Protein backbone atom coordinates (compact mmCIF):
# COMPACT_ATOMS: atom_id res chain seq x y z
CA UNK A 1 0.00 0.00 0.00
CA UNK A 2 1.29 3.49 -0.83
CA UNK A 3 2.61 5.68 1.98
CA UNK A 4 0.38 8.57 0.86
CA UNK A 5 -2.75 6.42 1.08
CA UNK A 6 -1.78 5.22 4.56
CA UNK A 7 -1.04 8.80 5.62
CA UNK A 8 -4.50 10.02 4.60
CA UNK A 9 -6.37 6.95 5.83
CA UNK A 10 -4.73 7.22 9.24
CA UNK A 11 -5.72 10.83 9.96
CA UNK A 12 -7.67 11.19 13.19
CA UNK A 13 -8.40 14.04 15.62
CA UNK A 14 -10.35 13.22 18.77
CA UNK A 15 -11.76 15.36 21.56
CA UNK A 16 -11.89 18.70 19.76
CA UNK A 17 -13.78 21.11 22.04
CA UNK A 18 -16.40 23.62 20.90
CA UNK A 19 -19.22 25.65 22.41
CA UNK A 20 -22.19 27.50 20.94
CA UNK A 21 -25.25 29.39 22.12
CA UNK A 22 -28.56 30.69 20.87
CA UNK A 23 -26.82 33.47 18.91
CA UNK A 24 -25.06 30.94 16.67
CA UNK A 25 -28.25 28.90 16.33
CA UNK A 26 -30.27 31.91 15.17
CA UNK A 27 -27.52 33.22 12.91
CA UNK A 28 -27.39 29.89 11.07
CA UNK A 29 -31.18 29.82 10.64
CA UNK A 30 -31.13 33.37 9.30
CA UNK A 31 -28.15 32.49 7.11
CA UNK A 32 -30.14 29.82 5.28
CA UNK A 33 -33.03 32.24 4.78
CA UNK A 34 -35.45 31.57 7.63
CA UNK A 35 -37.19 34.66 8.98
CA UNK A 36 -37.48 36.54 5.68
CA UNK A 37 -41.15 37.09 6.54
CA UNK A 38 -41.12 38.71 10.01
CA UNK A 39 -44.75 37.62 10.57
CA UNK A 40 -44.25 33.92 9.82
CA UNK A 41 -44.48 32.29 13.26
CA UNK A 42 -43.23 28.93 11.96
CA UNK A 43 -39.95 30.46 10.81
CA UNK A 44 -39.66 32.94 13.67
CA UNK A 45 -39.41 29.98 16.05
CA UNK A 46 -35.90 29.38 14.63
CA UNK A 47 -34.65 32.98 14.62
CA UNK A 48 -36.31 34.79 17.55
CA UNK A 49 -36.04 33.99 21.25
CA UNK A 50 -37.43 37.37 22.38
CA UNK A 51 -41.15 36.61 22.59
CA UNK A 52 -43.88 38.13 24.76
CA UNK A 53 -45.26 34.65 25.41
CA UNK A 54 -42.26 32.40 26.13
CA UNK A 55 -41.67 29.45 23.80
CA UNK A 56 -38.66 27.24 23.12
CA UNK A 57 -36.25 28.36 20.40
CA UNK A 58 -35.93 25.68 17.69
CA UNK A 59 -32.64 24.52 16.18
CA UNK A 60 -32.42 23.75 12.44
CA UNK A 61 -31.11 20.15 12.22
CA UNK A 62 -28.35 21.03 9.76
CA UNK A 63 -26.94 23.54 12.26
CA UNK A 64 -24.87 20.46 13.09
CA UNK A 65 -22.79 21.29 10.00
CA UNK A 66 -21.43 24.47 11.63
CA UNK A 67 -21.72 23.67 15.36
CA UNK A 68 -18.07 22.56 15.38
CA UNK A 69 -16.83 24.62 12.44
CA UNK A 70 -13.15 23.98 11.76
CA UNK A 71 -13.09 20.47 13.17
CA UNK A 72 -11.56 17.76 11.02
CA UNK A 73 -9.24 14.75 10.98
CA UNK A 74 -6.10 16.80 10.36
CA UNK A 75 -4.01 18.42 7.62
CA UNK A 76 -4.36 16.52 4.34
CA UNK A 77 -1.79 18.56 2.36
CA UNK A 78 -3.99 18.84 -0.72
CA UNK A 79 -3.94 21.39 -3.53
CA UNK A 80 -6.59 23.60 -1.91
CA UNK A 81 -7.36 25.54 -5.08
CA UNK A 82 -8.52 22.31 -6.70
CA UNK A 83 -10.59 20.96 -3.77
CA UNK A 84 -14.40 21.01 -3.98
CA UNK A 85 -17.13 19.75 -1.67
CA UNK A 86 -18.74 16.59 -2.99
CA UNK A 87 -21.37 15.38 -0.55
CA UNK A 88 -22.75 15.77 2.98
CA UNK A 89 -24.55 13.09 4.97
CA UNK A 90 -25.65 13.95 8.50
CA UNK A 91 -27.25 11.42 10.84
CA UNK A 92 -29.08 13.00 13.79
CA UNK A 93 -28.95 10.93 16.98
CA UNK A 94 -30.96 13.40 19.04
CA UNK A 95 -32.23 16.98 18.65
CA UNK A 96 -29.52 19.61 19.01
CA UNK A 97 -29.81 21.77 22.15
CA UNK A 98 -30.04 25.55 21.87
CA UNK A 99 -26.70 25.91 23.67
CA UNK A 100 -24.03 23.33 24.42
CA UNK A 101 -20.43 22.47 25.09
CA UNK A 102 -19.57 19.73 22.62
CA UNK A 103 -16.67 17.59 21.47
CA UNK A 104 -15.90 16.54 17.90
CA UNK A 105 -14.16 13.29 16.99
CA UNK A 106 -12.96 13.30 13.36
CA UNK A 107 -11.40 10.55 11.25
CA UNK A 108 -10.88 9.62 7.61
CA UNK A 109 -13.20 6.82 6.49
CA UNK A 110 -11.82 6.04 3.04
CA UNK A 111 -9.66 7.37 0.22
CA UNK A 112 -10.76 6.78 -3.38
CA UNK A 113 -7.78 7.36 -5.68
CA UNK A 114 -9.12 7.88 -9.20
CA UNK A 115 -5.67 7.87 -10.79
CA UNK A 116 -3.11 10.37 -12.05
CA UNK A 117 -4.71 13.63 -13.26
CA UNK A 118 -8.14 12.31 -12.20
CA UNK A 119 -8.11 13.35 -8.57
CA UNK A 120 -8.92 11.67 -5.29
CA UNK A 121 -12.10 11.57 -3.18
CA UNK A 122 -11.60 11.58 0.58
CA UNK A 123 -14.49 10.58 2.82
CA UNK A 124 -14.23 11.61 6.47
CA UNK A 125 -16.58 11.75 9.42
CA UNK A 126 -17.03 13.91 12.50
CA UNK A 127 -19.05 12.72 15.48
CA UNK A 128 -20.47 15.46 17.70
CA UNK A 129 -21.03 14.57 21.36
CA UNK A 130 -22.49 16.41 24.33
CA UNK A 131 -20.85 16.79 27.73
CA UNK A 132 -22.16 13.37 28.80
CA UNK A 133 -20.42 11.76 25.82
CA UNK A 134 -23.73 11.04 24.08
CA UNK A 135 -23.80 11.32 20.30
CA UNK A 136 -25.65 14.32 18.88
CA UNK A 137 -24.87 13.94 15.18
CA UNK A 138 -22.54 12.11 12.82
CA UNK A 139 -21.36 14.12 9.82
CA UNK A 140 -19.88 12.38 6.79
CA UNK A 141 -18.26 14.62 4.17
CA UNK A 142 -16.69 13.80 0.82
CA UNK A 143 -14.16 16.19 -0.68
CA UNK A 144 -12.93 15.85 -4.24
CA UNK A 145 -9.29 16.89 -4.61
CA UNK A 146 -8.99 17.37 -8.36
CA UNK A 147 -5.28 18.23 -8.19
CA UNK A 148 -4.25 15.09 -6.31
CA UNK A 149 -4.45 11.34 -6.91
CA UNK A 150 -2.38 8.77 -8.72
CA UNK A 151 -0.35 7.85 -5.65
CA UNK A 152 -1.11 4.14 -5.79
CA UNK A 153 -4.07 3.77 -3.47
CA UNK A 154 -6.33 0.71 -3.68
CA UNK A 155 -8.78 0.47 -6.56
CA UNK A 156 -11.99 1.14 -4.65
CA UNK A 157 -15.44 2.12 -5.93
CA UNK A 158 -17.50 4.76 -4.14
CA UNK A 159 -20.93 3.67 -2.86
CA UNK A 160 -23.83 4.39 -5.22
CA UNK A 161 -25.74 7.58 -4.36
CA UNK A 162 -29.38 7.61 -3.30
CA UNK A 163 -31.64 6.99 -6.30
CA UNK A 164 -34.32 9.55 -7.06
CA UNK A 165 -37.76 8.12 -7.97
CA UNK A 166 -38.58 8.07 -11.67
CA UNK A 167 -42.12 9.42 -11.20
CA UNK A 168 -43.09 13.09 -11.26
CA UNK A 169 -42.31 14.97 -8.02
CA UNK A 170 -44.95 14.85 -5.29
CA UNK A 171 -44.20 18.49 -4.42
CA UNK A 172 -42.25 21.34 -6.01
CA UNK A 173 -41.38 24.48 -4.07
CA UNK A 174 -39.43 27.66 -4.80
CA UNK A 175 -37.08 29.14 -2.19
CA UNK A 176 -35.73 32.61 -2.93
CA UNK A 177 -32.21 33.36 -1.72
CA UNK A 178 -31.23 36.92 -0.80
CA UNK A 179 -28.58 38.87 -2.76
CA UNK A 180 -26.62 39.29 0.49
CA UNK A 181 -27.14 35.76 1.77
CA UNK A 182 -23.53 34.59 1.38
CA UNK A 183 -22.35 37.62 3.39
CA UNK A 184 -24.56 36.49 6.27
CA UNK A 185 -23.89 32.76 5.98
CA UNK A 186 -20.10 33.23 6.02
CA UNK A 187 -20.42 34.49 9.60
CA UNK A 188 -21.32 30.91 10.57
CA UNK A 189 -17.69 29.93 9.94
CA UNK A 190 -16.75 29.62 6.27
CA UNK A 191 -14.87 32.84 5.46
CA UNK A 192 -13.67 31.64 2.03
CA UNK A 193 -13.44 34.86 -0.08
CA UNK A 194 -14.99 32.96 -2.99
CA UNK A 195 -18.31 33.81 -1.32
CA UNK A 196 -17.64 37.47 -0.53
CA UNK A 197 -14.92 39.01 -2.72
CA UNK A 198 -15.84 39.79 -6.36
CA UNK A 199 -12.18 39.89 -7.45
CA UNK A 200 -11.41 36.52 -5.88
CA UNK A 201 -14.54 35.02 -7.46
CA UNK A 202 -13.51 36.27 -10.92
CA UNK A 203 -10.03 34.77 -10.52
CA UNK A 204 -11.71 31.47 -9.62
CA UNK A 205 -13.71 31.59 -12.85
CA UNK A 206 -17.05 32.96 -11.61
CA UNK A 207 -18.67 36.27 -12.63
CA UNK A 208 -19.45 37.06 -8.98
CA UNK A 209 -19.27 35.44 -5.54
CA UNK A 210 -21.18 32.18 -5.18
CA UNK A 211 -23.33 30.90 -2.35
CA UNK A 212 -21.71 28.37 -0.04
CA UNK A 213 -22.57 24.80 -0.97
CA UNK A 214 -23.35 24.16 2.68
CA UNK A 215 -25.79 27.08 2.63
CA UNK A 216 -27.58 25.41 -0.27
CA UNK A 217 -27.50 22.20 1.78
CA UNK A 218 -29.20 24.07 4.63
CA UNK A 219 -31.76 25.49 2.20
CA UNK A 220 -32.75 21.94 1.21
CA UNK A 221 -33.19 21.09 4.90
CA UNK A 222 -35.41 24.15 5.18
CA UNK A 223 -37.41 22.87 2.20
CA UNK A 224 -38.13 19.56 3.91
CA UNK A 225 -38.88 21.35 7.20
CA UNK A 226 -41.62 23.46 5.60
CA UNK A 227 -43.20 20.65 3.62
CA UNK A 228 -43.12 17.14 5.05
CA UNK A 229 -41.69 17.83 8.54
CA UNK A 230 -44.22 20.51 9.56
CA UNK A 231 -41.33 22.58 11.02
CA UNK A 232 -40.55 19.80 13.53
CA UNK A 233 -36.75 19.76 13.80
CA UNK A 234 -36.84 16.68 16.06
CA UNK A 235 -38.32 14.61 13.20
CA UNK A 236 -35.04 14.54 11.24
CA UNK A 237 -33.01 11.33 11.35
CA UNK A 238 -30.76 11.89 8.30
CA UNK A 239 -30.15 14.51 5.61
CA UNK A 240 -27.99 13.70 2.56
CA UNK A 241 -27.15 15.71 -0.56
CA UNK A 242 -24.61 15.81 -3.40
CA UNK A 243 -23.38 19.15 -4.71
CA UNK A 244 -23.46 19.48 -8.50
CA UNK A 245 -23.39 23.23 -9.29
CA UNK A 246 -23.20 26.50 -7.34
CA UNK A 247 -26.01 28.93 -6.59
CA UNK A 248 -25.50 32.66 -6.98
CA UNK A 249 -26.96 34.73 -4.11
CA UNK A 250 -30.33 36.16 -5.10
CA UNK A 251 -31.32 33.20 -7.27
CA UNK A 252 -34.44 31.12 -6.73
CA UNK A 253 -33.82 27.51 -5.78
CA UNK A 254 -36.51 25.12 -6.98
CA UNK A 255 -36.82 21.88 -5.01
CA UNK A 256 -38.52 18.76 -6.33
CA UNK A 257 -39.55 16.39 -3.53
CA UNK A 258 -40.78 12.78 -3.47
CA UNK A 259 -42.26 11.12 -0.35
CA UNK A 260 -42.03 7.37 0.19
CA UNK A 261 -42.96 6.56 3.76
CA UNK A 262 -40.47 8.27 6.06
CA UNK A 263 -38.00 8.86 3.22
CA UNK A 264 -38.07 12.16 1.35
CA UNK A 265 -36.05 12.26 -1.87
CA UNK A 266 -35.17 15.62 -3.38
CA UNK A 267 -33.23 17.47 -6.03
CA UNK A 268 -32.74 21.22 -6.43
CA UNK A 269 -32.17 23.39 -9.47
CA UNK A 270 -31.92 27.00 -10.59
CA UNK A 271 -34.42 27.21 -13.44
CA UNK A 272 -33.23 30.59 -14.68
CA UNK A 273 -29.88 29.04 -15.65
CA UNK A 274 -31.14 25.53 -16.35
CA UNK A 275 -28.76 23.91 -13.84
CA UNK A 276 -29.21 21.27 -11.15
CA UNK A 277 -27.43 22.35 -7.97
CA UNK A 278 -28.24 19.42 -5.65
CA UNK A 279 -28.57 15.78 -6.71
CA UNK A 280 -29.44 12.48 -5.02
CA UNK A 281 -30.92 14.17 -1.95
CA UNK A 282 -32.47 12.12 0.85
CA UNK A 283 -34.06 12.98 4.18
CA UNK A 284 -35.22 10.32 6.62
CA UNK A 285 -37.90 11.44 9.06
CA UNK A 286 -39.04 9.56 12.12
Q: Which active-site residues does the annotation give?
A: 190, 195
Paired with 243 in beta bridges are 278
Neighbours of 261 (CB within 10 A): 7
Amino acid sequence: MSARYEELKGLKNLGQKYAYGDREVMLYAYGIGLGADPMDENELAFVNEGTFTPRPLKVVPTFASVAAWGSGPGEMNLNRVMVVDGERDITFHQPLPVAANITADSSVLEVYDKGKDKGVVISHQTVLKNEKGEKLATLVASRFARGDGGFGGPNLTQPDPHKIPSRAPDKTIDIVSRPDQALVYRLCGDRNPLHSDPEFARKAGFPRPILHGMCTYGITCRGVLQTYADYDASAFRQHVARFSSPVFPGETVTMDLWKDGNTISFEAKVKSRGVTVIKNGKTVLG
